[in-house]
A and B are shown apart, each in its own frame.
Chain A
Amino acid sequence: GEQVEQRPPHLSVREGDSAVITCTYTDPNSYYFFWYKQEPGASLQLLMKVFSSTEINEGQGFTVLLNKKDKRLSLNLTAAHPGDSAAYFCAVRPLKNYNQGKLIFGQGTKLSIKP
């Protein structure tokens, strides 16, 4: 079945610098991709939902890139600020689970922003 690998597990960047988190997946038929952010003690907050036909997705202070050829999804935070410190999770919705509502998650990345 679908497998998702997320890297790096930990990332520390200075305030104002960019941060990149990457997920690779195995099922070429995957058609929905998600990034979630989780601050300590809080819920997973949906950052962005990406459909497979859209390669570049702009959010507030971040960009999500989808490279279908390489089966790679990345979250690029521009000009990181202390509020970005959190755990980030990618998730993939494989096509063959169309009717099941099942997401395959990456392992998570703990992002720390240093002043």
Chain B
Amino acid sequence: GPKVLQIPSHQIIDMGQMVTLNCDPVSNHLYFYWYKQILGQQMEFLVNFYNGKVMEKSKLFKDQFSVERPDGSYFTLKIQPTALEDSAVYFCASSWGLGGAAETLYFGSGTRLTVL
């Protein structure tokens, strides 16, 4: 089936540093998402993105977070500066459209971020 690739699978950084998580979505998809899963908890919606803009973000999407997809390349989540509570697994997803059959989200395998 359609594949979403996330790079890297693990990242360890010191608190206060910047980190960029990369996602290679399904090639003809137009909508992109980030979800966050703290260990032992539910996966929670962070943000969705379409046509170069954030459509909706949750309260978990702090001011230190930003997303972009420059020139149709990787869809990225940047955290600057990082905090201890940002340690989690971050899942990227993409869908062809919104509503009905078009809104089927395909997920990557996640990037485990550890902030020390």
Contact = CB atoms under 8 A, between A and B. Distances in A.
Given A105-B43, A106-B42, A107-B41, A100 B105 contact: no
A114 interface: no
A53 interface: no
Interface residues of A, number: 25
What band does the interface of chain B fall in when counting residues whose beta carbon is under 8 Å from A? 20 to 34
A100 B48 contact: yes
Given A43-B108, A101-B103, A105-B42, 13 more contacts: A34-B105, A41-B9, A41-B109, A43-B3, A43-B4, A45-B1, A99-B55, A100-B48, A101-B55, A102-B58, A103-B45, A104-B45, A107-B42
Interface of B: 1, 3-4, 9, 31, 33, 35, 41-45, 48, 55-56, 58, 91, 95, 98-99, 103-109
